[in-house]
């Protein structure tokens, strides 16, 4: 028994030691699911010798929760959306990238030079941008789909066949567009109306799911599903009758960004990775895979020509505005959190 214990202890020490010995050449990424092509990570490893591990999440809020639940200090970079970048800056979760640390920073397209969520890109770099709306299976419904009524006040044939994203930000922003109220409203009547409208709408919904947003549409389990534009393009490739809607009331626009996390265990690797993604050829590989736009100049030659004409990224003239998700103050957020909990109870 003694020798068994000893050998176990040796095995444990070896295994744990092995993990820390090569820590200099590691990179730990916290990323959205089904977004980063494995081939690009392999290319990064081939170029730099840095070994990449990647964990995935399915909503900005879930990522924040997990980072605050002991995840800080274990990941080097994460990929939050625009509003979440400002929240994370406010929470002190992001490290500052000093001027000149990123040699490819000049590749950022002029129109994205100074975003409001991270002025001057001092903690992050642009990754991908796109929209969140919903898709409808035109084989199941042939009426007008370009209205938020499809989600919140659906026709009888779609009722009970709707999947919503399990993401507070995206669901509540879309609901605000539907009612035509501001996203961080403090008006009690508006908030009550929002709560009541969502309670009513919930009866028409089959499920809340982000990771299976594509699968449930492709398999025909639901006929309507909230979805990101690029993910939707992939869904359409598998089921041609799916159509991405651009509601006249508006839709959610977003930009995901690679951020440098505070206490990153491999800060140098993280900088190298950010620089890698600032090369047009590399970020174009992400766009070609995930079917979203990039925030860099000079990506054109590397892009799949088909991307330019995707119906999911070319809103018709009738489309409403694309709005970014806003950050509310603590007291207002508490009300929205309660509305969200009421919705999911």
Q: Which residues bind other proteins (CB under 8 A)?
A: 1, 4-5, 8, 11-12, 15-16, 19, 28-30, 33-34, 38, 53-56, 58-59, 61-62, 64-71, 73-75, 87, 91, 160, 163, 166-168, 188, 191-192, 195, 205-209, 211-212, 214-215, 218-221, 330, 333-335, 337-342, 344-345
Q: Could you tell me the smallest distance in angstroms from the CB atom of residue 328 to other proteins?
A: 11
Shortest Cβ 154–other proteins spacing (Å): 16
Least spacing, CB of residue 263 vs other proteins, in Å: 11
DSSP-derived secondary structure for 68-126: IIIITTT-SEE--BHHHHHHHHHTT-BPPPPTTS-TTGGGB-GGGSS-TTSGGGSSEEE
| CB nearer other proteins, residue 147 or residue 241 | 241
* Residue 102 or 222 with smaller CB distance to other proteins: 222
CA distances from 30 to 95, 106, 128, 325, 327 (A): 15, 25, 15, 21, 22
Q: What angle do CA 266, 124, 56 make, to 5 degrees?
A: 65
Closest CB to other proteins among residues 162, 271: 162
Q: How many CB atoms lie within 10 A of CB 12?
A: 10
CB of 257 to other proteins, least distance (A): 18
Q: Where in the chain does DSSP place strands (E)?
A: 26-32, 51-57, 77-78, 124-137, 162-164, 205-208, 224-228, 242-245, 251-260, 293-294, 322-323
Beta carbon nearer to other proteins, 56 or 147: 56
Closer residue to other proteins (CB): 65 or 139: 65
Instruction: Please choose, from the candidates 343, 1, 345, the residue with its C-alpha nearest in 3D space to the C-alpha of residue 172.
Output: 343
Burial class (CB in 10 A: 0-12, 13-18, 19+), 72: middle
Angle between helix axes 330-344 and 188-202 (nearest 10 degrees) is 20
Of 74, 99, 78, nearest to 89 by C-alpha is 78
Nearer to other proteins, 103 or 338 (CB): 338
Rounded-to-integer distance, Cα 52 and Cα 276, Å:
13
Shortest spacing between CB 274 and other proteins, in angstroms: 18
Between 114 and 263, CB nearer to other proteins: 263
**Least spacing, CB of residue 15 vs other proteins, in Å:** 6
Q: How far is the CB of 39 from other proteins (least distance, A)?
A: 8
Contacts of 10 (CB under 8 A, 6+ apart): none
Tally: H helices and E strands in the chain? 12, 11
Q: Shortest Cβ distance from residue 65 to other proteins (Å)? A: 4
Closer residue to other proteins in complex, CB, 64/290: 64
The minimum distance between CB 112 and other proteins, in angstroms, equals 26
| Residue (48 or 56) nearer to other proteins, CB | 56
């Amino acid at each position: 028994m003694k020798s068994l214990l000893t050998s176990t202890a040796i095995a444990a020490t070896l295994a744990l030691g092995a993990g820390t010995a090569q820590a200099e050449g590691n990179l730990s990424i916290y990323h959205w699911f089904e977004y980063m092509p494995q081939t690009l990570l392999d290319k990064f490893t081939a170029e730099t010798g840095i070994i990449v591990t990647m964990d995935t999440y399915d909503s900005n809020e879930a990522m924040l929760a997990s980072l605050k639940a002991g995840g800080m200090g274990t990941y080097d970079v994460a990929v939050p959306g625009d509003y979440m970048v400002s929240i994370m800056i406010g929470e002190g979760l992001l490290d500052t990238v000093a001027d000149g640390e990123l040699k490819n920073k000049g590749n950022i397209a002029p129109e994205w030079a100074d975003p409001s969520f991270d002025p001057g890109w001092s903690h992050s770099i642009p990754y991908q941008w796109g929209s969140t709306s919903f898709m409808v299976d035109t084989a199941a419904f042939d009426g007008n789909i370009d209205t938020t009524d499809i989600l919140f006040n659906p026709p009888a044939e779609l009722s009970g066949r709707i999947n919503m994203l399990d993401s507070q930000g995206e669901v509540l922003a879309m609901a605000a567009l539907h009612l035509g109220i501001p996203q961080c409203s403090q008006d009690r009547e508006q908030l009550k109306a929002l709560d009541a409208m969502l309670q009513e709408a919930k009866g028409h919904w089959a499920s809340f799911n982000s990771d299976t947003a594509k699968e449930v549409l492709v398999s025909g389990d639901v006929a309507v599903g909230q979805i990101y534009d690029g993910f939707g393009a992939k869904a359409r490739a598998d089921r041609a009758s799916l159509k991405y809607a651009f509601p006249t009331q508006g839709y959610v626009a977003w930009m995901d960004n690679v951020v440098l996390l505070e206490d990153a265990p491999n800060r140098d690797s993280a900088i190298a990775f950010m620089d890698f993604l600032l090369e047009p050829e590399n970020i174009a590989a992400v766009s070609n895979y995930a079917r979203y736009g990039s925030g860099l100049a000079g990506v054109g030659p590397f892009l799949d020509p088909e991307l330019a004409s995707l119906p999911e990224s070319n809103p018709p003239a009738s489309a409403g505005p694309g709005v970014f998700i806003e950050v509310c103050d603590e007291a207002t957020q508490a009300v929205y959190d309660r509305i969200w909990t009421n919705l999911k109870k």
